[in-house]
Structure 1
């Protein structure tokens, strides 16, 4: 019927032209549509009809209804003038409603004062008072007059005890006001009541509730609230991420907080919260014992946040993390950046310096190691650490041949109770003190200490004890306690221990004191029983000397002729000289002349050649051929009379060298060589110039001079130049192939025991670096026969054997050799051995064990980044086989982003690409 009525009304408007009736009909239709909430239709008819035929009351109703329709259509700009006009008309029934809606519109436009004026006029109105009070409180909050808002709302809270609007939002408003004042105890009941009365909270409302719960200790509720807010990308989620981690931390769930801080550090868009999350994630990683991860986080944090207020604490935590993960090398670098070390850092310093020093000992940098140990002692180490520092300081001094200080430091270790920690033990200390005293020729004190080298009732079972028994005999020999020395050497010979050739040689020396014939018998026994021993040349030389001392010259000749077949130039030179002397004493001058000439021609720079000059002159005299002497020497390059100027200029240069004025010495030696290219001191000047360049770290220039000496010298300076060239090639130029050649040449020149030790050690290490495992193991075998071998030598030999076994596919003995490495070494070789153990088990498909040793490499070898990085790559490979692609990718990506070795970065990148290709089906 209404539809029909509307149609009739519309037809009426078409047919009737009288204004008054038309206006009335438009008003009727407008009110009809208004009641139906057809706002636009109502507006059309209100505007189509005039108001000239309406009463004031009807005009007010028409304007209010138009304003309300516009308000409902959200056309607030048009509605406001109408509402404003109506509220200012006195005595109309729509005035209070117009005030309310005008206030709402001013509120939406942030015109706080105009809105307040409207709502204040309604505070006592029976219909609008609750709404007016609510909005006035709302306006006080918006103006951040929170205290006034709380007072006002609390005063009127009795108006909002029901469930009618706005009682529910009133709770949120009052709760928010308390929240803004940080009065969370009072805020929480209102916010919680509001939440329980509202089906769905806005994200900001949920955050306020969760934060208030956090602050009053309702942690489980807070955690649930924040967790519901993190999966988004707005500002609320940024804060929720961080507060979720805080809530878990306060709730005692450090592992959960650790994960939450990590999530926030990776996903938070709020840069301050992101950085703070990163810092706290690192801090928790440290507190949870994940030191390697803590180190990685703080390294990144410090680099990315150089102005952070937490930078100093971050550096200290990085230092502590590195120290705890045994990455002493990097810890020392970070220490230099810590401006004011805290008590925690200060307490850790001696341990870090000690740890780094021990690594440097194993790596061969004794000078820096000594500095660090001395510094650690000045920093008040703990009572348990102090004696261990003294032990290792003694070890460094011992290896540097500073035997006085070695005795001092080992004695302090012994006087502090000699605690056993790794290689530091009472037995090792007494052994090294004994050796030091022996080198200082204090044989009684040496003897006393060697006698204390025993592990228990059954002594002599270990190689250390066996060697100590031998050194006891050496001391007794030097103290002329021949009976006791003889008994000691004889025990070693009877047991046929590895040192039996040396003991038999010494036994012969003891016998030779009183009985030359017995000495000869024992030397012959040595040569027969141990024909490949390293003491064969010494035994033959001693045998020849004994024959000569007994004036049994004819018997000495075949022994010395045999020594001429020795590849050692030094031994040959001595043999030629002694043969020349023998033939001279036998009045066989032609043969004597041949031997002296062979010595001079084959070994012109040897000390023996110089010694032979007078003997040669005597032979020429005996033969009546004195006129041949001077021409012969000139032909061989010997200056019969060195010119005065030549001599003076060389001596001036040498004096500068001895005064350690190296720069001027270089100039002086070069001037001498330029002026006297064939001078009498050419060899001396060339050699010393090479040493000058070596001291100035001008390696290429040094090698040029040393190589000239090596080519031209057959004796004098030959060994010294070869050793210097080997050291430069190995340590400075890292040219291990050339170094190997020089060390081998040194070994073939019949070096002293110290040079032989260094030559074999150099050959082991040079071949190791070249991955020549078979040659390295062979030289290592010879090195381990020497009494001066160290635990480093034993460790590298064991590692080389393991590498050789792996190369040859003989897996059964690999682990035993790698375990020996860990027994002897605690530094770089140990890191490599742990990694090789992980790869061994990886090859055997024992993935859990492989993973265990990979983590051991990471956690216990922090100073050796290369092997730590290799271990991470291996972990990634393990995860791939286990189909844990997420962790595999994360591991490879971490290496790609953080590794300093470009080759390992590239390897990680290739592994990542392989994973992606497998995912896409390639």
Structure 2
């Protein structure tokens, strides 16, 4: 409430004398008083200052101080006046002016709007103390303070006490009317406003409130007439914009839309859209919508949606319909969903939902919104709606288009009499859920889903049923149920169309099933079919190459070495990038045929071409073996030396030491052989090779009569093999192992470790225990067993498995540096491709987390060059390599890799690739391209909800950059309401953007 008040005429307290023309202090004082009474405040202040410097008497000095304080207050210099008044009260605490000074000091707070402080000061003054004029001033200001502080009862009582005041009667009636107006008591307010003087302040504001009262009472004709008069008489009044609004809204209510729009547009021209009344924006927005000005309609109606009432609900409905007409289905569905969820107007809610359902079927998306749940809610709320039949049809399609398949399945299962369309929907939902379970290694659950889906095929989609058989076979293969898997793959091949793109995959899987069963003749025939089918399809080169490798393996196991070598050649030609294995095997084949020179050449070629291959240690071992076969023992010793120098911790390296010792013995270099055997025992005392070396060393030294030296040496090496290996050690372990392999029981293994902590089989027992604990989710226990294994038996073959488990747990627990060291150790000691791959995967992951991008790329390149890398791991490796490249600034190469991976967003790294590709495009300013990429991610219904949420946040950023603020905000609001996850960064990103 704006006030217009005058300063209390406290100057009356000063008295005049006859010496007004005197040039001395008394004359200056008298002139100052006259000027003050005539409102010449600055002149008065000047006279008072002259008087002060003209040797005034003590009485005159008090009057001068008082006069200057009051003049300064009336001049409007409140802070200076406050200081002068405080000094006056301190200097003259008991004069006749002291009470007036205290009132004036309270007035300083009053004029500065510090009503709480002013009220406290006024209340401290006794009502009986001032004279009548000052008493009215005090009552008026006290009542005004109460009004401004919300103490309306006290304010009304105070103003009522001034009804007969010659100074304040008009203002008191006005403020009483104002208080009744704010309380909604319009009749009492109107009566009081009608009685005030409308030509003086504050009564001149009464017409404004009388117009408001007429409008609030729906007396639109009167409100319109009064608003028109106010606009005409006072076009530049502070209340003119509000009068324009009332005129516009009153015209709208009386049916004169053109006049209404004219007034309201003039109102909006004087008021920013963020401060305009929602009711005015609503009328303008609806008119814009009706005129086809859809962008303007959305802009005007967007602020209205903040209203928690029917008008806000209706605004959402119109915004949704506007976007629907523009073809912006995502923005439309979010607005329509909001209109439906607001429960103010049932008819608006019903219409909003039907439009929502239509938009949903047209492809509209809302972040993590469940169309199924919304449709079910609608049918429960409006079972007799005219839209109910269409909604029931949309519901069937909604089961498929909704990304929450678990909820969709639960909804379908709740239907007692499903229609054929519902059964078909259930078949597809189960199929998708099975695929996702399998992608996330929930193999048993996936198998159940696929079997249930297949059972529905006779009533639904037979082609999908046939494809499901392929997935069933995949599940059974992963579970090690090879005969059942072969049956499933064979069934698929019998029923699937010849043109099915998955026939090659089915043949490939069937062949691997035979191979796993060691039915090599059948596997050979099936892998040949894969080759034939690959020639007629677009099968990946790595599949063709792998099929040739397995054909060659089958022929190798059948001792058909020449044929095997030929097929290893074909594998190498089909995919040279993963040619280390076929080239190695081909070399071995040549050796088995007696062509050792050729074998050596091929091994050299393999080692030169694939220097990071996991087969390097094996290749050196094989090369030395062929050199020995050619009686080139010295060269063989050189290769052994190279092997043990580069791969000392591997089983091949340890075997190399043994073979070196044997070769040295064959050459008569007994002392060298003894030294080599001792090297094996002292360096790798817990390894199997150390046991063999110990036996050989014992025999040599016994033959030379130096068994005491052997005993002394063995005793000097901690953990070295002892002379006696008790039979009970062997029997106890065998019993424990049998129990574990049969039922997973670990009690006997623990008992074995307790009884034989350094037993011959302790490494394998610890490996079993670590593996069992890991599988049971007891990571702490698994880490303890694995650490014990690699610490006490670092050279045993089982320690490789221990290192893999230890590194995995350390990585998961956030101990990145320790995990990296563990994986580096595993990489240097692993003897087989599987553990080398595990080590490099670990190195890549830790380096990725630590931001060591060059190390990520190096590890990824080594992994990708191996033929042993599985498909699921391959996507992670490709993603990680692309991410590291992007961080190094090689964005083009990263984008190319991400684009390939983004085609499969069911895979975690496919979803991550799609997001990072879109983000990179957006960061580079390729807005349209970024929108296409992120839309593809969202449309894919990826099961990886975190990355889907990141996609919606990016889509909001894209929309905002294009000026679509409503759409950008609604994506974020819907995501905040619907996101099922709890990741703090998602909600932080949402809130940060909404606050901008």
Please give the TM-score of this superposition, normalised by the length of structure 1: 0.63
CA contact (8 A) 1:286 1:294 kept: no
Deviation at 1:700, TM superposition (A): 0.4
Deviation at 1:881, TM superposition (A): 1.7
Equivalent positions of 1:209-608 (< 5 A) are 262=337, 264-269=339-344, 283-290=357-364, 292=366, 295-296=369-370, 321=398, 323-328=400-405, 331=408, 344-380=421-457, 382-399=461-478, 402-418=481-497, 425-452=502-529, 453=531, 454-456=533-535, 462-490=541-569, 497-523=576-602, 525-526=604-605, 529-530=608-609, 532=611, 534=613, 535-549=615-629, 552-567=632-647, 568-608=649-689
Corresponding position of 2:151: none
Equivalent positions of 1:609-758 (< 5 A) are 609-636=690-717, 637=719, 638-641=721-724, 656-660=739-743, 662=745, 664-665=747-748, 668=751, 673=754, 682-713=762-793, 714-729=795-810, 733=813, 738-758=818-838
Deviation at 1:281, TM superposition (A): 6.0
CA contact (8 A) 1:410 1:433 kept: yes
CA contact (8 A) 2:470 2:489 kept: yes
CA contact (8 A) 1:473 1:486 kept: yes
Deviation at 1:439, TM superposition (A): 3.6
Q: Map Cα deviations across residues 324-360 of structure 1 (whole Å, 9 max, x no partner).
A: 2455466467678778866544322332232233234
CA contact (8 A) 2:580 2:866 kept: no
Equivalent positions of 1:104-123 (< 5 A) are none
Corresponding position of 1:895: 975
Q: Map Cα deviations across residues 280-304 of structure 1 (whole Å, 9 max, x no partner).
A: 5654454444364693465579899
Distance 2:668 2:715 in 1: 26
CA contact (8 A) 1:577 1:612 kept: yes
Distance 1:434 1:546 in 2: 33
Distance 2:827 2:411 in 1: 43
Corresponding position of 2:171: none
Corresponding position of 1:885: 965
Deviation at 1:460, TM superposition (A): 9.7
Distance 1:741 1:801 in 2: 21
CA contact (8 A) 1:880 1:888 kept: yes
Deviation at 1:398, TM superposition (A): 4.3
Deviation at 1:641, TM superposition (A): 3.1
CA contact (8 A) 2:806 2:819 kept: yes
Bigger mean CA offset, 588-597 vs 321-330: 321-330
CA contact (8 A) 1:242 1:273 kept: no
Corresponding position of 2:916: 836
Distance 2:538 2:775 in 1: 47
Q: Map Cα deviations across residues 190-209 of structure 1 (whole Å, 9 max, x no partner).
A: xxxxxxxxx999xxxxxxxx
CA contact (8 A) 2:955 2:968 kept: yes
Deviation at 1:775, TM superposition (A): 2.7
CA contact (8 A) 1:805 1:813 kept: yes
**CA distance 1:297–1:458, change in 2 (3 Å):** closer
Distance 1:867 1:467 in 2: 33
**CA distance 1:283–1:572, change in 2 (3 Å):** same
Distance 1:768 1:750 in 2: 22
**CA distance 1:737–1:857, change in 2 (3 Å):** farther
CA contact (8 A) 1:792 1:825 kept: no
Corresponding position of 1:908: 990
Distance 2:602 2:936 in 1: 52
Corresponding position of 1:788: 868
**CA distance 1:609–1:851, change in 2 (3 Å):** same
Distance 1:697 1:709 in 2: 19
Deviation at 1:385, TM superposition (A): 0.9
Corresponding position of 1:847: 927
Distance 2:926 2:786 in 1: 52
**CA distance 1:832–1:655, change in 2 (3 Å):** closer
- The Cα RMSD (Å) is 4.7
Distance 2:308 2:669 in 1: 108
CA contact (8 A) 2:848 2:884 kept: no
Distance 1:369 1:738 in 2: 35
**CA distance 1:859–1:699, change in 2 (3 Å):** same
Helix, strand or coil: the match of 1:384? helix
Distance 1:276 1:474 in 2: 68
Helix, strand or coil: the match of 2:686? coil
Deviation at 1:699, TM superposition (A): 1.1
Deviation at 1:492, TM superposition (A): 6.0
Q: Which has the larger radius of gyration?
A: 1
CA contact (8 A) 2:353 2:378 kept: no
Distance 1:881 1:240 in 2: 27
Bigger mean CA offset, 870-879 vs 445-454: 445-454
Deviation at 1:909, TM superposition (A): 0.6
**CA distance 1:345–1:603, change in 2 (3 Å):** farther
**CA distance 1:863–1:735, change in 2 (3 Å):** farther
Distance 1:457 1:879 in 2: 45
Q: Map Cα deviations across residues 853-901 of structure 1 (whole Å, 9 max, x no partner).
A: 2222222134221122112211221222222222222222222333333
Q: Map Cα deviations across residues 215-248 of structure 1 (whole Å, 9 max, x no partner).
A: xxxxxxxx99xxxxx9999999999999999x99
Helix, strand or coil: the match of 2:743? coil
CA contact (8 A) 1:523 1:543 kept: no
**Aligned match for 1:808, one of 888, 891, 896:** 888
**CA distance 1:349–1:797, change in 2 (3 Å):** same
CA contact (8 A) 1:729 1:739 kept: yes
Distance 1:261 1:412 in 2: 48
CA contact (8 A) 1:569 1:715 kept: no
Deviation at 1:618, TM superposition (A): 0.7
Deviation at 1:307, TM superposition (A): 10
Distance 2:893 2:255 in 1: 69
Corresponding position of 1:35: none
Deviation at 1:414, TM superposition (A): 1.8
Q: Map Cα deviations across residues 646-698 of structure 1 (whole Å, 9 max, x no partner).
A: 777766655653553636447635xx52x665566654554444344334422
Distance 2:826 2:337 in 1: 58
**CA distance 1:644–1:520, change in 2 (3 Å):** closer
**CA distance 1:283–1:274, change in 2 (3 Å):** same
Aligned pair count reads 680
Distance 1:326 1:385 in 2: 20
Q: Map Cα deviations across residues 371-390 of structure 1 (whole Å, 9 max, x no partner).
A: 43233223336211122222
Deviation at 1:633, TM superposition (A): 2.9
Corresponding position of 1:85: none
Helix, strand or coil: the match of 1:564? helix
